[in-house]
Structure 1
């Protein structure tokens, strides 16, 4: 059951018939999938962004709602607030740098799947690798991710925004590496900005010197970095393509590789590897003094104390 208070209905009627219709459609989706939104800051709070181009005569909307305990009874959904972001008017053209192919419902699904995968990862780390869990930074606010988008002049995909709302990087300690194979560390938002700007500057110099070249470029404006070899070593890293949702990597030689794998798929695979390590070939999760270390480790010293996790 989805409850819409009279005050919210009156507000939507004042905003126009397109908003009334958009809310009606959204409520129908919430009745089927109450977890489609991204997590808010209050207990049981979620938010869904409705793009301004999806419904006729409807501006962009942020719809905040509560679902289930402790705010409501089990199974209940209540719309709490409808905001019209001042910085998000109805668009008549696609944004210059990516994200245009992601509709509001698709974005909500991507955000929910990312949230689910990360919560599985965080739960495993909290129980089995507390040192690695302690290295994770708190999530970022919408204001902080919005400032990042403005600094980069790029629209961050919903999956990456959802990850940053839960964890906005790692601190520089042993064991901060997280993702399989190389132990990639999550970048802080400041590092994301500086890394992106450095790549764009390299791209600018490349174009000035050699002109536009076919094939894989040095960088694309839609590529948003999110993790690196370590917290301080940015010579290797991974990015999400805001236009396609695909992930990719770069290295110090200038090689760029794009994979047919989304951020959601990457995190879901990591969660599966942690929970069911025997099902996957390649790098295995293991522990050194409460720290997650993918292995077997390369150095004899680490191999001697590394304990593989068998599930």
Structure 2
């Protein structure tokens, strides 16, 4: 039998398990108590006979230290790799996976002509010589680490199994290296699969620990230092080919061209406001004043695709009689957002119309609230759509044209109906041809998601419901505010001058002013926009490539974390403490947040005289 070279690398398995036992006994005794006693050599031999295998020496040595792990809160698992399996699980999982392989993948692993090649060893759903030595996060034979007991170059090597993906070898050459890595992680707080070990209330836990760039550059500032690109002139239409003359004869050429595909109609998202001017409408939507100027549709779209825009939306605005209108020209649509419509319609009326693929919507608002005049059109296969007005619905048929011809026809019909319904005389083609006042939008603060307003969420292996049940509301809010202060410190959000005063007000139990126009609201809107500008490209977008990134990936991560902290601040400022807690605790960067929360709760009780 050929042994893999990795079998001789690393300390003996028994030595590593002794280190693990000692650490758990000292820091996580509950978890230590869930490690089973050693298996006996007789039991190991019985399992080998049943499976028709000779277990590799490292596996035998591990089983003779602990025969797996008992299931329970705080069971000592190896991060996402899961708990170590005992003999009973090894046999049961091997028989199950062999059966699945034989019935579903009967041809896997039949050919051995490639011999020692790594690809040949892994060219199977499951091999009879593999054993699942850890059981994944679900404690089932669905994922985990396996060791191969197949004779050859890879004998004793450790791989990763997941029943929805192809198997692969890991960075660990042998099981002794896995156990040694477990011991090293515990003693030196080293990450395994992106998590670090944490001892809390006598239990071993694994959690993420993140660090960020302390002073990331601002994408919006860098974009502001970039000149706005000018759209190139339209490409000239190529001239038809000239006939060629040969002596007294002329060679005529006939060029056959198919009918050109009809262009996609110009049907932008629209928002109208009665009695406002274009400048006031854009101000209410959130356009940055320094970017305001007249632009053609072509210039607006060209400029929005460059670094100058920092991935901010761009809108153009004009007038239609006594109504102002704004067009979603580039970026994420703003005119349809309820947050925007409430603000635009304050003290007046607003109407929004947009097409989103197969769906067209028309909504009306009055003085910040929906006015009830809503029409929704959804296209159906074959050009059939459903038109809904209030509770009434009927099916209508439209013609052909672009990808969603029925939706395009519905959009055109609804635009034409605006004059009769609201007195809005609007011509999309005229708006497309005009130079209109325009600018980049700093999006308004988004509404908090509805689930956050209903019930607390559970995350990061923490029983939040139990904490809420046994903690006085005043104590919980004070401790949560302390956690928020820690969060803003570790993410860098607290470096912005608007944040510390808000935290001080929360600590005193006072309300925090938080609107789109006050300094704190503008700061949070800016942080959210910075995070959006720093996101890695998601591939091609409609109308061109994603704008280039102006900051590094690490700087982008720092802005994402600041944005999460900003969202957590909003949750604490606007929601009861039990509903706000998940947003704060799930955003913490330190893996020691549980211990710090315990300290913050004790300090809050002491300060409140509890």
Contact 1:172 1:231 (8 Å CA) reproduced = no
Task: Report if aligned partners of 1:247, 1:263 keep a CA contact under 8 Å in 2.
Answer: yes
Please state how far the C-alpha of 1:252 moved relative to its aligned partner: 3.2
How far, CA to CA, are the matches of 2:52 and 2:108 in structure 1? 25
Contact kept, 8 Å, 2:32 with 2:76, in 1: the verdict is no
Q: CA deviation at 1:165?
A: 0.4
1:229 paired with 2:517, answer no
Local SS of the residue matching 1:171 = coil
> Cα 1:193–1:288, aligned 2, differ >3 Å: closer, same or farther?
same
- Whole-Å Cα distance in 1 between the matches of residues 96 and 170 of structure 2? 22
**Aligned: 1:125 with 2:61:** no
Change (3 A) 1:102 1:193: same
Corresponding residue for residue 182 of structure 2? 270
Deviates more, 1:155-164 or 1:213-222: 213-222
How far did 1:158 drift?
A: 0.6
1:184-212 deviation line (CA, Å, top 9, x unaligned) = 11222111101001111122124437895
Query: Which residue of 2 is the match for residue 151 of structure 1?
Result: 50
Question: 1:296–1:125: structure 2 CA closer, same or farther, 3 Å change rule?
Answer: same
User: 1 or 2 for the larger relative contact order (CA 8 Å, sep ≥6)?
Assistant: 1
> CA distance change for structure 1 residues 204 and 135 in 2, over 3 Å: closer, same or farther?
same
The residue number in structure 2 matching 1:114 is 13
Is the alpha carbon distance of 1:203 and 1:268 closer, same or farther for their aligned partners in structure 2, counting shifts above 3 Å?
same
1:287 CA displacement: 2.0
Aligned to 1:294: 206
Q: Distance in 1 between matches of 2:175 and 2:130?
A: 12
State the Cα distance separating 1:282 from its structure 2 match.
3.0
Give secondary structure in 2 for the equivalent of 1:136: coil
1:142 corresponds to which of 41, 46, 54: 41
C-alpha distance in structure 2 between counterparts of 1:187 and 1:172, whole Å: 11
Conserved? CA contact 2:109–2:123, under 8 Å: no
Give the Cα separation in 2 of the matches to 1:233 and 1:153.
22
Q: What aligned pairs does 1:23-102 form with structure 2 within 5 A after superposition?
A: 100-102=1-3
Q: Report the Cα distance in structure 2 between the residues aligned to 1:151 and 1:129, rounded to whole angstroms.
A: 36
Partner residue of 2:86 out of 188, 202, 217: 188
Deviation of 1:111 after TM superposition, in Å, equals 10
Aligned to 1:47: none
Q: Give the TM-score normalised by the residue count of structure 2.
A: 0.31
Aligned twin of 1:208:
106
The CA deviation string for residues 1-57 of structure 1, in whole angstroms up to 9 with x for no partner, is xxxxxxxxxxxxxxxxxxxxxxxxxxxxxxxxxxxxxxxxxxxxxxxxxxxxxxxxx
1:10-25 correspondence to structure 2 within 5 Å = none
- Give the deviation of 1:307 after TM superposition: 4.1
Contact 2:11 2:180 in 1 (8 A): no
Identify which of 54, 59, 62 aligns with 1:160: 59
CA contact (8 A) 1:110 1:159 kept: no
1:259 aligns with 2:175: no
Alignment pair present for 1:198 and 2:96: yes
What number of residue pairs does the alignment pair up? 205
Residue 26 of structure 1 corresponds to none
1:141 Cα deviation after fit = 0.4
Secondary structure of the equivalent of 2:170?
strand
Segments of structure 2 that go 5 or more residues without pairing to the other structure are 112-119, 210-457, 463-584, 587-592, 597-610
1:144 Cα shift? 0.2
CA distance in 2, matches of 1:234, 1:279: 24
Query: Aligned in 2, Cα 1:271/1:143: closer, same or farther, shift over 3 Å?
Result: same
**Contact preservation (8 Å) 1:160, 1:263:** yes
Counterpart of 2:133 in 1: which secondary structure? strand
* 1:249 equivalent in alignment to 2:249: no
The CA RMSD measured in Å over matched residues stands at 3.2
Are the equivalent residues in 1 in contact too, given 2:207–2:460 (CA < 8 A)? no
C-alpha separation in 2, matches of 1:110 and 1:139: 24
Query: Is the 8 Å Cα contact of residues 179 and 185 (structure 1) preserved in structure 2?
Result: yes
Tell me, what secondary structure is at the counterpart of 1:140?
A: coil
Q: Would the alpha carbon gap of residues 223 and 301 (structure 1) be closer, same or farther in structure 2, given more than 3 Å must change?
A: closer
